[in-house]
Amino acid sequence: MFSRTLALTISALPLLAVATPLEARQDCSTGALQCCDSTETAGSAAGAALLGLLGIVVQDVNVLLGVNCSPITVIGVGAGSSCSAQAVCCEDDSHGGLVSIGCVPVTL
């Protein structure tokens, strides 16, 4: 009986290992998972113009900005986790989705 339980437990471990990356891709350590129409650096002409129009000051010109972003919701495994543009995690998305600051690209 013990050997059957041990064999079942060992055979289930690969399933747990496969499930873990799916969970990690759904969550962001820096903020919400978002789908943005484009990304720009703060120092680029487009990024600087957008930040200037909105009156936003950033310290690092190399910070990645998400432009025209919307949240990606994940309902169930594999459902709703698509983005036809650029999927990113951003530290600051408090500007109504028009621009998100401190973004990191994510592969879905």
Q: What is the pLDDT of residues 63-106, one digit of tens each?
A: 999 999 988 876 544 445 578 888 999 999 888 889 999 999 98
Residues linked to residue 12 through DSSP beta bridges, in sequence order: none
User: pLDDT, tens digit, for every residue of 19-54?
Assistant: 333 333 456 777 778 999 999 999 999 999 999 999
Taking alpha carbons only, the member of 63, 17, 14, 96 closest to residue 34 is: 96
Domain count for the chain: 1
Structural domain harbouring 40:
2-105
Cβ-based burial of 97 (10 A; exposed 0-12, middle 13-18, buried ≥19):
middle
pTM: 0.65
Query: Which contiguous run of DSSP H or E holds residue 41?
Result: strand 33-41
